[in-house]
Amino acid sequence: MRSLYSLLNCEESASTSEIKSAYFGFIRRHHPDKQRQQESETSSTDDVIVGDQEEGNDLVKIAKVAWETLRDRESRSVYDNWLREQRLRQTVLVSDEVAADNLDEDEPFHACRCGGDYPISKEDLSRMVDDIIIPCASCSLFLRITRSNT
């Protein structure tokens, strides 16, 4: 799975200043304003540009979360634990799947077939770069949340 580190293109052992320069490098490459500039300089088709721009916006949003999370030692260690947990779950058998776009960002909720539900937090959604896996609170089933456009 991709992490906030791999999104910014830096090592997981990177120092805060290395993460900072990786973040600003990322913003320079992906910022929608820059893409609009390139758009007016080149004359490619509209369809392609719109798609690129939407994805660019989304990734820039996650990159901002990445920088806010990883610049602080405490929130970085919380994230590192979360990431470790996510990696351990990559091998579990997933019984249900939902797209992040179909969840309410303010009140993410998904019911499990056991009658319980998957405890999804806003943080889970904000820090996901690609798919994440969440266990049911009441049984042993797992839910995969997918991000369609990365």
> Which residues of this chain interact with Zn ion, rule CB under 5 A?
112, 114, 116, 136, 138-139, 141
Taking the complex as a whole, the smallest distance from the CB of residue 134 to Zn ion amounts, in Å, to 11
Tell me whether residue 5 or residue 118 sits nearer to Zn ion (CB atom): 118
Select from 149, 125, 134 the least CA-distant residue to 90.
Answer: 134
Select from 93, 118, 82, 87 the least CA-distant residue to 103.
Answer: 118
Tell me whether residue 102 or residue 138 sits nearer to Zn ion (CB atom): 138
Tell me whether residue 71 or residue 110 sits nearer to Zn ion (CB atom): 110
Taking the complex as a whole, the smallest distance from the CB of residue 142 to Zn ion amounts, in Å, to 9
Q: How far is CA 133 from the centre of its chain?
A: 12
Please answer whether residues 125 and 111 qualify as being in contact, where contact means their C-beta atoms are separated by less than 8 angstroms. Answer: no
Tell me whether residue 121 or residue 138 sits nearer to Zn ion (CB atom): 138
Taking the complex as a whole, the smallest distance from the CB of residue 75 to Zn ion amounts, in Å, to 29
Query: Between 16-30 and 32-41, two packed helices, what is the crossing angle to 10 degrees?
Result: 40
Taking the complex as a whole, the smallest distance from the CB of residue 120 to Zn ion amounts, in Å, to 13
Helix, coil or strand: residue 44: coil
